[in-house]
Amino acid sequence: MRTAMVACAVALAACSGDTSFATLLRPADVQGVYRICSLRFTPVQSALPSVDLLARVIDANPAPPAQGASLTLSGVAAEFEMVYTHRNGQLRQVRGDVEYGTGSVFLYLTSQSPTIVQEEALLPPGHLDLVFSGAPRRLTAGTEVGSYYVRRSDYTRAAGISEEGLQDRIQGHVTASFSAEAC
């Protein structure tokens, strides 16, 4: 499945009218520690509020010695680690695999089974597709990211609203930006 996605990205790049040869990003191209600048879950149901996860779930500026929320991409292995401090003070980590496309990085969160960390942060259960920009070094996920379902209890806790009258699962998508420099 992953290989098919990367092959499709290469084929689409080749068909875009650009006559230059499309090359896949490599670990060395995107390696580094990226600050989490924005992370928002937006339900498909427009009557429900979007959730700024940096304000509601993640402590963006925890007290020392804790460090701020970050995403680290290895320069050697196709791996990543996302680390943040939850608003309750507990350190959270998500690790997984990375695949590289032409201008995109695919973070596969399923190298572990979905965890409480993914669920409470309303992260996608499978993968997060990020577009890479080299100057400045940024990774972004926009509205073109496919929608997915989160548990009602996780969504309402993060949004600070009542569960009353809501379905068991809330469908939505994530938008995010990460920067190797200041946000």
Residue 12 has pLDDT above 70, yes or no: no
In this prediction, residue 1 has a pLDDT band, given cuts at 50, 70 and 90, of very low
pLDDT of 123-132, one tens digit each? Answer: 887 788 999 9
pLDDT of 99-114, one tens digit each? Answer: 999 999 999 876 455 5
What domains can be seen in the chain, in order of their start residue? 22-179 (2.40.128.280)
Neighbours of 16 (CB within 10 A): 10
In this prediction, residue 94 has a pLDDT band, given cuts at 50, 70 and 90, of confident
Look at residue 21 in the predicted model and tell me its pLDDT: 54
